[in-house]
């Protein structure tokens, strides 16, 4: 009987805030206990999945309402974020393999070292060890 009551309380809390450790703490059970219940009871596992979906939707709605509030207040960052993520005319154009290409093409080939001395001494720059026949910094 105690398990039934605690599991119902857990599902209620988990549907509000879909973070297992937070819901377990609020109900007063350990994460190990929850995972044991989840492993032993397929119906309970399905109920956890439903509660997680409900909780995630709830948190997403809350975040969206906060974003809309900032847009209504005229916050430039919120307006920019909303347009870039919800309107095709303002979205960043990302090619199909954008992230893979980015990391492949942005390999470091050279660098500058800036040495700063005392407060009143000038700053000197030393080019990296990579040789460059044209004398252009890389």
The DSSP call for residue 74 is T
* CA–CA gap between residue 22 and residue 29 (Å, rounded): 10
Question: What value does the mean pLDDT take over residues 61-80?
Answer: 94
Helix (H) or strand (E) holding 100: helix 98-105
- pLDDT tens by residue, 26-46: 999 999 999 999 999 999 999
**Two tokens, residue 85:** 């993520």
The pLDDT of residue 91 is: 73
CA 20 centroid distance within chain: 18
Averaged pLDDT of the chain: 79
Instruction: Using pLDDT thresholds of 50, 70 and 90, give the confidence band for residue 90.
Output: confident
Cα dihedral 74, 78, 82, 85, rounded to 10, equals 160
Match 């948190």 to its residue by tokens: 59
* CA–CA gap between residue 29 and residue 10 (Å, rounded): 9
Per the CB < 8 A criterion, the answer to whether 78 and 67 are in contact is yes
Instruction: Using pLDDT thresholds of 50, 70 and 90, give the confidence band for residue 88.
Output: confident
Question: What value does the mean pLDDT take over residues 52-59?
Answer: 93
**Two tokens, residue 18:** 């879909």
Helix (H) or strand (E) holding 115: strand 112-115
């Amino acid at each position: 009987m105690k398990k039934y009551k605690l599991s119902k309380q857990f599902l209620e809390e988990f549907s509000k805030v879909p973070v297992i450790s937070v819901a377990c703490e609020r109900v007063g059970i350990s994460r190990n206990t929850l995972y044991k219940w989840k492993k032993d009871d397929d119906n309970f596992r399905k109920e956890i999945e439903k509660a997680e979906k409900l909780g995630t939707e709830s948190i997403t709605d809350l975040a969206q309402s906060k974003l809309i509030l900032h847009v209504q207040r005229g916050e430039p960052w919120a307006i920019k974020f909303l347009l870039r993520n919800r309107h095709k005319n303002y979205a960043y154009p990302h090619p199909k393999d954008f992230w893979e290409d980015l990391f492949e093409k942005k390999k470091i080939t050279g660098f500058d070292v800036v040495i700063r001395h005392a407060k009143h001494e000038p700053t000197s720059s030393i080019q990296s060890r990579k040789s460059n026949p044209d004398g252009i910094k890389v």
